[in-house]
């Protein structure tokens, strides 16, 4: 095989003899050196036929690239044998793209176990999965579209990982105005003194009147159904203050203590140790202070993939996911080493912007959502690497680090500049310049309600800290069991998702016990959304009064009762089923009609279930429709059921909407209402 020097000599001679007599530019050539030692020259002056094997057509990329999904479908689907034949053919005819593919196969599947070629992610387009080709930050040259990645430490407890975390902490505290420096924060009522490195004991410290200020770390973790033996109770409070053996702590807590010491920080907050677990009064007080606990922490350690407190914080990257060297490239005097890796299952969780999608365990927990939004800085411990999130940036060990924190290079240093996809950064930006508070609260509640919690009674406490943060920008608005007084008419237009057909509603059981008034979204289970979030609405009711009673006379604590007094047009209907080919759908039917009216009906829960206050909703059950508001497209009404033993108290059980086109077809609003409902009266009612 001719040496690389002789190949260049031939090219130089050819260029010298060119009639155009242009100056030779080495940028015209890319030299590719494969792992196996092959050397190939890509001459961009020459016309190059598209590779029949992989479809590469001598673009600036080193892999076949198509800009659209439709054109991508036209690419060949080469087999192993075809790739090897193309890569190993004579130097004059061999395809550099096939050479790169061959290196990937040899590195990640040398036994050729896979039945189809490995797929490679290149320029954000999945071509041959599941590999990702990248260059290191600072590479002098890289093909168009190649990812730029760092190489993770491989062990999140290592000194290398620690230095990565410290560097991010330093950059953030120095340059990020929204995050603050965290040096003079007020401490929680109780914290854990982690002591000095090498000590085998920690102890619980009660502060109260002896308030400390400075830096402390908080832990975000999932209980996962396991109650830690080290939890603080009324009977063990004094024992915890005397001392806790480090080796008696669950592994996640133990690791959190070790890492806090490594950071050089003295105090740590863990919920099950710093809150008295069998004292409802103390729990209620501390739950209302969650905003301060996480907002004032210098850093929150998040056990992202730990199912419970025994799973641990640290992880070692398995060999399967470690990056491996592929071919190297030279273009003129610039050089680049390409690497390949199998993408992690949750490589970058911030790319999973759909709540309810498959996410790491901690991302499924409702309490964690609050901890995430309130903490100025979070260090996520995943099975593969450390990841960072603060009020202004996100990053990870394998990503380009400095660009994420350089405001000159990226005004918003995240993968996408659309920060609305990132609830933490989105909230921080909104708090800077609050506008349209209903929209932001609707987004937060919509995301929150996708998540899970162990105790039904935590529905409002687990979001109380975020409510307190929002309330600081809405000082004149009273917080009412998850809704706001100044946007109450909009906030009440929530409805469940996927509540029809009827047989699919068994995932929305009625509440087992009281936790919020029926007009609050906190009274029901499951995901929900708000109607008419972005439209101007005309309110059709008169709101006279809305009040709530709380456990600690604090609107952020547990709700004991609530009343909403309104007056408006109330119609009567009966519940019915519409039997389709495969499903039965809940619908409403006036007594004067034989058939049911199928509008957009959203039951708040499975009506066939037993509600503790109003029992079951059955066929022919009488319900009442309160017309609430309308926008330019729809009329929105609450579906109510009279509370047993009361003439004026009603429970909300659903929301129904119909569009103005239906009214137009009927000829007039009065005719439509006459055909749709039995009777109408303008009356004052109380929804509880």
Same domain, 605 and 625: yes
Number of domains in the chain: 3
The least confident of 134-143, 368-377, 465-474, 670-679 is 670-679
Q: Which residues contact 570 (CB under 8 A, 6 or more apart)?
A: 624, 625, 626, 640, 680, 681, 682, 683, 685
Tell me whether residue 327 is in a domain.
no
| Segment 492-530, tens digit of pLDDT | 999 988 655 455 565 678 888 899 999 999 999 888 999
pLDDT, one tens digit per residue, over 224-255 is 878 889 999 999 999 999 999 999 999 999 99
Residue 320 lies in a domain: no
Mean pLDDT over 465-484 rounds to 93
Residues 596 and 625 both lie in one domain: yes
d(CA 176, CA 427): 15
Does residue 194 have a pLDDT over 70? yes
Q: Clarify whether residues 422 and 487 are in a common domain.
A: no
Q: Is residue 386 located within the same domain as residue 457? A: no
* 212 and 131 co-located in one domain: no
Look at residue 329 and tell me whether its pLDDT is greater than 70.
yes
d(CA 117, CA 105): 8
Residue 337 placed within a domain: no
Is 346 a domain residue?
Answer: no
Domain of residue 11: give its range.
4-148
pLDDT in tens, 577-597: 776 545 667 777 776 555 556
Signed CA dihedral, 551, 553, 554, 559: sign only: positive
User: How far is Cα 457 from Cα 522, in angstroms, rounded to an integer?
Assistant: 9
Look up the pTM and report it.
Answer: 0.81
**Integer Rg of the chain from CA:** 31
Do 90 and 120 lie in a common domain? yes
Q: How many CA atoms lie within 13 A of 95 on its CB side?
A: 26
State whether 124 and 203 are in the same domain.
Answer: no
pLDDT value for 225? 78
Residues 134 and 168 in one domain: no
Domain boundary (105, 121, 148) is at: 148
**Residue 376 and residue 276 share a domain:** yes
> For 406-434, what is each residue's pLDDT tens digit?
443 333 333 333 444 578 888 888 888 88
How, if at all, do strands 190-193 and 267-269 pair? antiparallel
223 with 279, same domain: the answer is yes
Query: Does residue 348 lie in a domain region?
Result: no
Per residue in 246-298, pLDDT (tens digit) is: 999 999 999 999 999 999 999 999 999 999 999 988 988 888 888 899 999 99
Confidence of residue 454 (pLDDT cuts 50, 70, 90): confident
Query: Which neighbouring-strand residues pair with 380?
Result: 302, 387
Q: Which of 116, 148, 180 is the last residue of a domain?
A: 148
Decide if 600 is inside a domain: yes
- For residue 254, the 8-state DSSP code is H
Query: Which parts of 399-534 fold into alpha helices (H)?
Result: 423-432, 437-448, 464-471, 488-491
**pLDDT surpasses 50 at 201:** yes
What is the reported pLDDT for 86?
76
- The model's confidence at residue 640, banded by pLDDT at 50, 70 and 90, is very high
Q: What's the CA angle centered on 370, arms 367 and 376, to 5 degrees?
A: 135
CA distances for 593 relative to 217, 589, 677, angstroms: 64, 6, 9
Residue 517 forms part of a structural domain: yes
388 Cα distance to chain centroid = 14
Instruction: Supply the pLDDT for residue 411.
Output: 30
Helix 80-87, helix 96-108: angle, nearest 10 = 130
Run of H or E residues at 170: helix 159-175
**6 falls in which pLDDT band (50, 70, 90)?**
low
Question: Under DSSP, is residue 581 helix (H, G, I), strand (E, B) or coil?
Answer: coil
Q: How far apart are CA 500 and CA 596, in angstroms?
A: 15
Q: Are 423 and 522 found together in one domain?
A: no
In angstroms, the CA 428 to CA 373 distance is 9
Which residues neighbour 20 within 8 Å (Cβ) at sequence distance 6 or greater?
none
Instruction: Using the Cα atoms of residue 438, residue 443, residue 446 and residue 452 in order, give the sign of their dihedral.
Output: negative
Q: State the pLDDT at residue 24.
A: 36
Shared domain check, 361 and 306: yes
Q: Is residue 324 situated within a structural domain?
A: no
DSSP string, 317-382: --GGGS-EEEEEEEETTEEEEEEEEPPPTTS-GGG--STTSS--GGGGBHHHHHHHHH-SEEEEE-
């Amino acid at each position: 095989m001719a040496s690389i020097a002789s190949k260049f000599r031939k090219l130089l001679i050819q260029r010298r003899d060119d009639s155009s007599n242009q100056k030779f530019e080495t940028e015209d050539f890319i030299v590719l050196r494969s792992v196996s030692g092959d050397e190939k020259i890509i001459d961009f002056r020459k016309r190059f036929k598209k590779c029949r094997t992989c479809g590469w057509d001598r673009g600036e990329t080193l892999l076949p690239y198509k800009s659209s999904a439709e054109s991508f479908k036209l690419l060949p689907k080469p087999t192993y044998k075809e790739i090897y034949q193309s890569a190993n053919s004579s130097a004059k005819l061999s395809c550099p793209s096939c050479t790169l593919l061959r290196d990937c196969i040899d590195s990640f599947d040398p036994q050729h176990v896979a039945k189809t070629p490995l797929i490679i992610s290149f320029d954000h387009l999945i071509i041959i999965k599941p590999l990702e080709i990248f260059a290191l930050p600072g590479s002098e040259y890289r093909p168009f579209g190649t990812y730029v990645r760092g190489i993770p430490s491989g062990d999140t407890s290592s000194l290398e990982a620690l230095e990565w975390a410290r560097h991010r902490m330093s950059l953030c505290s120095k340059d990020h105005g929204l995050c603050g420096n965290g040096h003079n924060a007020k401490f929680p009522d109780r914290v854990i003194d982690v002591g000095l490195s090498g000590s085998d004991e920690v102890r619980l410290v009660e502060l109260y009147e002896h308030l400390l200020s400075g830096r402390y770390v908080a832990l975000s973790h999932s209980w996962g159904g396991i109650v830690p033996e080290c939890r603080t109770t009324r009977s063990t409070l004094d024992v915890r203050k005397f001392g806790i053996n480090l080796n008696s702590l669950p592994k996640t807590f133990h690791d959190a203590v070790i890492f806090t010491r490594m950071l050089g920080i003295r105090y740590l907050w863990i919920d099950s140790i710093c809150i008295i677990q069998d004292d409802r009064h103390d729990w209620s007080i501390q739950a209302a202070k969650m905003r301060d606990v996480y907002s004032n922490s210098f850093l929150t350690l998040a056990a992202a993939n730990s199912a419970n407190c025994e799973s641990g914080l640290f992880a070692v990257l398995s060999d399967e996911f470690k990056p491996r060297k592929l071919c190297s490239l030279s273009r003129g005097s610039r050089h680049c080493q390409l690497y390949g890796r199998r993408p992690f299952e949750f490589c970058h969780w911030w790319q999973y912007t759909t709540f309810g999608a498959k996410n790491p365990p901690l991302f499924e927990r409702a309490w964690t959502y609050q901890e995430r939004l309130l903490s100025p800085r979070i260090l996520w411990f995943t099975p593969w690497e450390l990841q960072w999130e603060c009020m202004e940036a996100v990053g990870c060990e394998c990503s380009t680090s400095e660009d994420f924190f350089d405001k000159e290079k990226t005004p918003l240093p995240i993968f996408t500049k659309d920060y609305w996809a990132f609830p933490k950064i989105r909230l921080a930006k909104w708090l800077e310049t609050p506008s349209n508070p209903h929209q932001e609260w609707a987004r937060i509640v919509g995301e929150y309600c996708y998540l899970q919690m162990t105790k039904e009674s935590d529905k409002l406490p687990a979001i109380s800290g975020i409510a307190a943060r929002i309330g600081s920008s809405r000082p004149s608005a009273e917080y009412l069991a998850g809704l706001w007084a100044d946007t109450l008419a909009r906030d009440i237009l929530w409805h469940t998702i996927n509540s029809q057909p009827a047989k699919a509603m068994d995932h929305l059981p009625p509440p087992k016990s009281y936790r919020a008034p029926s007009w609050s979204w906190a009274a029901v289970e499951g995901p929900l959304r708000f109607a008419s979030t972005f439209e101007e609405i005309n309110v059709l009711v008169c709101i006279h009064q809305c009040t709530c009673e709380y456990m600690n006379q604090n609107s952020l604590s547990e709700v004991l009762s609530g009343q909403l007094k309104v007056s408006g047009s109330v119609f009567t209907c009966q519940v019915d089923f519409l039997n389709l080919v495969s499903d039965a759908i809940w619908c409403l039917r006036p007594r004067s009609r034989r058939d049911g009216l199928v509008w957009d009906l959203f039951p708040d829960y499975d009506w066939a279930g037993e509600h503790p206050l109003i029992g079951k909703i059955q066929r022919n059950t009488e319900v009442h429709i309160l017309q609430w508001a309308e926008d330019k497209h729809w009329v929105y009404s609450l579906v109510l059921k009279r509370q047993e033993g009361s003439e004026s108290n009603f429970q909300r059980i659903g929301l129904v909407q119909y569009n103005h086109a239906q009214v137009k077809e009927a000829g007039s609003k009065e005719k439509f209402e006459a055909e749709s409902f039995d009777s109408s009266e303008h009356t004052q009612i109380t929804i509880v």
